[in-house]
A and B are shown apart, each in its own frame.
Chain A
Amino acid sequence: MLSQKIRTIAAAGLAAAVTLAGVTVFAAETRQIHYFSSRSASDDTMVTLQEVTDAYNAQGGNIELVIDSNADRISYDQKLRTMIAGGQMPDMFDLDPTPYAVELGEQGMLTDMDAFLDEIGEKDSYISLSLNYGRTPDGKLYTLPLELSTEMIWYNTDMFADAGVEAPETLDDLLAACAALQEKGYTPFGIGGGDGWPLLRLLATYPFRMTGNDFLNQLAAGEAKMTDPAGVATSEFMAQIGQYFQPGFSTTDVATGLNLFLSGKCAMYPTGTWELNYFTDENRPEGLNVSYFYMPTIDDAATAPNEYWAFGGIGLAVNPEAFDDEYKDYLTFIVKNYSPAYFAHQHLAPQKVEADDTADFDPLFVQIMDDTANLGETAARPWDVVLGEDVIATINDTLPGLCMGEETPEDFEAAVDEALEANAN
């Protein structure tokens, strides 16, 4: 009799517990989600994801986010490809909207994020430049952005004053400023060419100003060539500006490049908002006076001056085979809570964030935030995302030579066109 009673009470208690804690009581086993990341574990994006995961678990979730990071980007890309080729796609991973992503998507190996965001009604929470950065050329969205970055060129105001030049508005001004600075004995342009992407950004500038992203998209589609006007313009521009880089730029890593600028050894340095904290009044070396300008333009440009580099960074892709209801619930929570948490670390967030109280923030961050509010409709797309990896490999191989004056613009154009043609086959 007694035992019967106990059983009833126990059952009732259990039922109550179930209702209180949700179904998770039964799923006592923690679900592991393996995230293969291209960012280092100490990066604020990763820190934020862990924070949000903790918050998710605190409100009843039971997810362990296992981050396996491979911060060396080249080896990250190679590893991801070999993992997928070997049938070992991670539950969650970083992916740019590259031709490779298109291929994966066509084979049904990626989760459609348009559908997911529509389903949970969160699409409008994103800043469109950030979200749409992840769109492949065929308009599909397979990734969620974790950041919003813009890129600018920093300059040493004292050196500029000494050379009698001002922040350039056009690319011609930029070259003229370089010449004037060199005349004064400064190294005009410091660049971390060893890491590849900084040179590609400069390469993309001329075509973006002439045609928007059309030329790039046509190159990728095999409808344009480097020998077309925009291609010729940019290879000639690179040959010119290349003379003003520091010697040895092609093996200079970005850390060394940044430091060249911070230690006053070069007059300009291109980078993005992720390095912002090196330039704040608080952290900058004493006596170094700096300012920045965004992508210079050209006469009769097709794009407005407030359209430049702005994007969501490499985004989060999800393995559809692992994407069950539990995972979906977790990812929904991330989408709803990530951006405010990331913003609190003083970074531009990929979603709109209510920023009433910025008093604690660094003035420089607030200033950049204001710039971001005035961004134009489109943004330049990075070449290494749009073009095939063979073509980018060829560009990475030949572009330094062009900048050093070892290759002519014609050599460079021919090499790229050859790679484009081989890639199309």
Chain B
Amino acid sequence: MKTLRDKKAVAFFLLPALIVYTIMVMIPIAVSIYYSLIDWDGLGPKQFVGLSNFVKLLNDKIFIRSFTNNLLYIVIVMVLQLGFGFIIAVLLTYLVKGRGFIQTVYYIPSVITVIAIAQLFTSFYSYEPIGLFNIFRKFIGLEPIAFLSDYKAALPAVAAVEGWQYIGIYMIIFYSALVSVSPDILEAARIDGATELQLLFRIRIPSIANVILLACILSLVGALRGFAAPMNMTKGGPNHRSEILATYMYKKAFTSRDYGYGSSIAVVIVILSVIGVLLISRYMDREDA
């Protein structure tokens, strides 16, 4: 197959994407690593400071808080996306008519810009004028609370928005995996007297384990990329209670003009992301095997 080994052709097809991608994604990451070793306010001279930005990170209470917040943020996002996505997907498999319609509607939030979604939920969470969630709380006899200003509620509130928005994506991933499980096996088990729950845990879940794993990784990586929802709803407040790594990085770099320090946070995010991609490729290797 000499034709397919044509070096010129390989270069022709591969290089455009490779060059754009390298210049726009990989080189900036390298530059970020370089910036993380300097002290620069965007005006004066750049000063090489070695690893001191990273040492500062370890002693920065707000960074530690953002880091732990980010973990909680990821957990909430994943539970919502995977949990609800899975439940709806399972329920959908029992539906005979109108499945297309329901899928379509469930997926709509995923296509709307997060700026709009953030605006929308700011109104929903509002205390005064009373927002939807507080109307609901009152209805079931609870005191209304100011979700986005509350020290305890702010982080779950912003995480829930990102979680909610992309439920549809996971619903569809799970659904198409579930329907690929052979109906014959399910029917046979039903005839043997298995309940639907047993079917779910003994047959369906084990046979789509791979997809579940992939969905977990996708959701994890997505949550790690989270930024716009907290930035637009609380700006990380009150007092960093909803601060996550990306918002802290952005504020340090663009509000405080501490580009070096901001870049060192960026490097931490990249390291976490690369761990994410290692998980993905490990998964793909398993598939190949």
Contacts and interface: CB of A to CB of B under 8 A. Distances in A.
Direct contact of A and B (CB under 8 A): yes
B43 A397 contact: no
B127 interface: yes
A397 B240 contact: yes
Contact of B237 (A100, A103, A397): A397
Q: Which of B147, B238, B251, B259 has the most chain A CB within a 10 Å cutoff?
A: B238
Contacts of B240: 397
Interface in A259-306: 259-260, 265
A77 B42 contact: no
A394 to B, nearest CB: 9
Contacts of A246: 127-128
Contacts of B235: 74
B195 to A, nearest CB: 47
A107 interface: yes
A404 B127 contact: no
Contacts, number: 89
Contacts of A240: none
Contacts of A107: 43
B176 interface: no
Interface in B137-153: 144-149, 151
B260 to A, nearest CB: 13
B98 interface: no
Given A82-B42, A84-B42, A103-B43, A250 B238 contact: yes
A250 B255 contact: no
Contact of B146 (A81, A85, A248, A393): A248
A251 B43 contact: no
A247 B151 CA distance: 13
Contacts of B238: 250, 397, 400-401, 404, 406
Q: Which of A74, A397, A407 has the most chain B CB within a 10 Å cutoff?
A: A397
Interface string B224-240: 00000000011111111
B128 A248 contact: yes
Interface in B166-205: none
A81 B42 contact: yes
Interface string A104-148: 100100000000000000000000000000000000000000000
A78 B239 contact: no
B129 interface: yes
A390 interface: yes
A401 B242 CA distance: 13
Interface in A317-369: none
A248 B43 contact: no
B256 interface: yes
A390 B146 CA distance: 27
A398 interface: yes
Nearest to B239: A401
A85 B237 contact: no
B122 interface: yes
A102 to B, nearest CB: 11
B234 A251 contact: yes
Nearest to B259: A85
Given A247-B127, A248-B127, 15 more contacts: A78-B254, A84-B42, A84-B43, A85-B42, A104-B43, A246-B127, A246-B128, A247-B144, A251-B148, A256-B128, A390-B258, A393-B255, A393-B256, A396-B237, A404-B151
Interface of A: 74, 77-78, 81-82, 84-85, 100, 103-104, 107, 187, 246-252, 256, 259-260, 265, 389-390, 393, 396-398, 400-401, 404, 406-407
